[in-house]
Chain A
Amino acid sequence: MKEYTAPLARLIDELKHLPGIGQKSAQRIAFYLERAPRDDVQRLAEALLDAKDKIRLCSLCNNLTELDPCEYCSDPRRDPEVICVVETPYNVVSVEKSREFRGHYHVLHGALSPLQGIGPEQLKLRNLIERLNGGTVRELIVATSPTVEGEATAVYLAKLVKPLGVKVSRIAMGIPVGSDLEFADEVTMLRALEGRREM
């Protein structure tokens, strides 16, 4: 005898494909949806399809958007002379949380990771170079993750962009706010010292 009836088994199976969802989480979500009012489930299904159909990449910055160019690229209050380079679209949200950055973005959709077969060709670099060749951009802020992959990507970008006469800066790295020096390892401490500033 089958463990679950066919439509429920199919739903669990589909949910299991989502990142971070294992068998147990998939079962829990499937049973919740089965008990939920039909309208709620319909809204969820429509939202999923709507997002899939309407979201595309901004032709300028590669961020996820419904309109092309995206709201950041088309906002006249933002400074087009400064571009912040991030790995993923949700990194844009993280930078925006600071409420300090008012420039434009560029999303690479990854970082150099040889083990995953991601080299420079797999990153969205071509339209970045096109933007920089336009002559408007004064500074490129590289906000890739403080990992081996993020650092290699930052250094690679700097080498690529500096000959174009654009200033390249890297976000600071080091001790997280609210942490303690006692727990900093050698790499973190080195980064914190390198990124120190005059007061």
Chain B
Amino acid sequence: MPLVETEAIVLRTHRLGEADKIVSLLTRQLGRLRAVAKGALSRRSRFGSALEPLSYIRLWIYDREGRDLQRLGSAEVVESFFEMQKDYRMQVAAQYLAEVTERFLPDREVNERAFRLLMAVLRALKHFGEVNRPLLFFDYWLLRLGGFLPDLSCCMKCRKSFAGQAGFYVESSESLLCSACRSGGSGTQLSAQALALIDEFRSARIEEWLRMKKAPAGSRELRLFLEQVIEAHLERKLVTRRLLAEEG
């Protein structure tokens, strides 16, 4: 059984028996996988705080192909997001990232760009202390990298460009309609300001965009729409999305 060294982000952990943990990881070299960390809950655990949610770690894993659960040899912290998550709102945001990543990315499929995206957004949460725009950036790019981002420049029915006009969507819809195509004035509006935001961050690095200006109008409504697209694609409700909404 080969011992593989890789970098990883801890997505979540479950208790297994008296002192073990099952750890869900997004690794750089092996993709998303699950592994057992023996003795992780014991007082003399060699894992320390490395297996706390969203820790960026270097790990050594006994990798056997075809197995659902791998075995974790050891792990050390490269960068911790422990302190950041002491704030409940940040904890909800960070665990939203973990939940979406775990549901969205397939098992054992290496995705370097998704790994770098998650790291960049976690660092943005940590350094800027803001939830809304980092999550918007994450939702947009994850959908785009996965090839599930709808065309947000025009109406999906008549293909007319929004060009400064608002779009509209209904619950569980994955795309936008123009005001003429929506039926009977129904649907939630996505303002022209929100749609224009996409141009702002499409070509910028996350930290550059976050430094540009504080809380631009429309960022929350755009994020709520993209969260809905993610849920529609996953065909399930995200547990953390409800808690995010409660936090405002």
Contacts and interface: CB of A to CB of B under 8 A. Distances in A.
Contacts of B16: 20
Q: Is the interface of B mostly helix, strand, loop or mixed?
A: mixed
A4 interface: no
A129 B21 CA distance: 34
A112 B94 CA distance: 13
Interface string A112-123: 111111011100
Interface residues of B, number: 34
A187 interface: yes
A19 B82 CA distance: 28
A114 B49 contact: no
Interface in A38-90: none
A186 interface: yes
Contacts of B98: 115
A27 interface: no
Interface string A173-194: 0001011000111111010000
Contacts, number: 79
A147 B98 CA distance: 16
Interface in B195-248: 239-240, 242-243, 246
B86 A114 contact: no
B80 A115 contact: no
A115 B12 contact: yes
Interface in B67-116: 76-77, 80, 82-83, 85-88, 91-92, 95-96, 98-99
A114 B43 contact: no
B236 to A, nearest CB: 13
Contact of A115 (B43, B46, B50, B240): B240
Interface string B24-59: 000000000000000000011010111011100000
B18 interface: yes
Contact of B17 (A20, A113, A152, A179): A20
A114 B246 contact: no
Contacts of A32: none
A151 B86 contact: yes
Nearest to B239: A117
Contact of B95 (A114, A155, A186): A114
B48 A114 contact: no
A124 B71 CA distance: 36
B48 A112 contact: no
Nearest to B10: A148
A176 B48 contact: no
Nearest to B87: A155
A97 to B, nearest CB: 13
A151 B82 contact: yes
Contacts of A116: 239
B88 A187 contact: no
Interface of B: 12, 15-18, 43-44, 46, 48-50, 52-54, 76-77, 80, 82-83, 85-88, 91-92, 95-96, 98-99, 239-240, 242-243, 246
5 contacts: A114-B243, A116-B239, A148-B54, A185-B50, A187-B77
Given A121-B246, A152-B85, 9 more contacts: A114-B91, A114-B240, A114-B243, A117-B242, A119-B243, A120-B88, A149-B91, A151-B86, A188-B49
